[in-house]
Amino acid sequence: MAKRRFSLISILLIGCLFLGVYVAGVGADHEDNLVGQVNDRGKLTVSFIDVGQGDSILIQTPLGQSMLIDGGERGQGERLLEYLRKQGIDKIDIMVGTHPHSDHIGGLIAVLENFRVEKVYLPKVTHTSSTFRDLLTAVKNQGLKVSTAKAGTAIPLEGVDTVFIAPVGDTYGSLNNYSAVVQLAYGNKSFIFCGDAEEESEQDMLSSSQGDLKAEVLKVGHHGSSTSTSDPFLNAAAPQYAVIMCGTDNDYGHPHKETIEKLNQAGVKIYRTDENGNIVFSSDGNSLKIETFRGSGG
């Protein structure tokens, strides 16, 4: 009997212990999952915003600055504004339009019309589309001049190392290869955001970067198209995580299965905006945390 009572007490104690751990766990999770408001103060947060077939990436630095790389199609503008407002963003310190295609720069026009933007980078290449013309007008209306995005140019953000590693050349046949590619490092974690850069630009990055293309997180070039993510480039970046930004059932068949197979073979964990919605990485410089959610959050 005494033995049985002892067992009962043990079970109760163990039960309480588990409950305690469970409650602590739930508490921590809850704190970490303020869905829709993703930035923890003092941490780097990188949101790959689901804008369908297109790119839009919001970077919030540990010191509270923000960088927006691309804005999706023009029709995504409202959604993008909503996402930025949910983050409590009142100005964009750095805006980058990777290249003049509408699935990258379209939504930036609404951002320029609604937020204070401190600095805008575009690669030195023009396009005859009305979207590109309207973007330049919106930049001018903010009283800004375009700064040129090119390899080797450091981006003035505090507390993180951010630099353009492409475009390296200035005579590419395809607009995609003029894509501004950003490499960002915080502590021992680094990210590369490829825009729509294809193999030719990847080769130029490889030959000009002195081998320093390592990145834990790779925003895969050109929506996972087989034109990008060449073997040498993937080997040099050697990412743990790949992010593919593309729309459900898009007209281009993105991502191409060659790219998916290549990433799988290299043991890279893949996140996709068409399957996961918004993909948010946060880091204290040592570890990476990944969350995904649909919609604008909040």
159, 63 in Cβ contact below 8 A? yes
Judged by CB, which is closer to Zn ion: 100, or 297?
A: 100
Which part of the chain contacts Zn ion (CB under 5 A), choosing from 99-107, 181-189, 248-256, 286-294?
99-107
Phi-psi label, residue 275: left if phi above 0, alpha if psi -120 to 50, beta otherwise = alpha
User: Which residues are CB-contacts of 59 (< 8 A; sequence separation ≥ 6)?
Assistant: 44, 45, 46, 47, 66, 67, 68, 69, 184
DSSP 8-state class, residue 247? -
From 81-89, 98-106, 144-152, 286-294, span contacting Zn ion (CB under 5 A): 98-106
Q: How far is the CB of 56 from Zn ion (least distance, A)?
A: 11
| Ranges assigned E (strand) in 89-166 | 91-92, 94-96, 116-117, 120-122, 146-148, 161-166
Q: Give, rounded to a whole angstrom, the gap between the first and last alpha carbons of the chain.
A: 55
- The residue from 50, 70, 93, 196 that contacts Zn ion (CB under 5 A) is 196
Among 104, 91, 262, CA closest to 178: 104
Q: How many beta carbons lie within 10 A of that of residue 183, not counting itself?
A: 23
Please identify, among the stretches 80-88, 148-156, 192-200, 275-283, the one whose residues bind Zn ion according to the rule CB under 5 A: 192-200
Q: Of 33, 81, 70, which Cα lies nearest the Cα of 48?
A: 70
Neighbours of 130 (CB within 10 A): 10
**Smallest distance, Zn ion to C-beta of residue 252, A:** 9
Min dist. Cβ of residue 155 to Zn ion (A) = 21
Among 50, 70, 103, 216, binds Zn ion (CB under 5 A): 103
Size of interface with Zn ion, in residues (CB under 5 A): 2
Q: Which is nearer to Zn ion, 196 or 198 (CB)?
A: 196
Taking the least distance from each CB to Zn ion, the nearer of 47 and 225 is 225
Smallest separation (angstroms) from Zn ion to the CB of 42: 33
- Residue 98 CB, shortest distance to Zn ion, in Å, is 8
Give yes or no for residue 198 binding Zn ion (CB under 5 A): no
In whole angstroms, the minimum distance from the beta carbon of 101 to Zn ion comes to: 5
Binding positions for Zn ion, rule: CB under 5 A: 103, 196
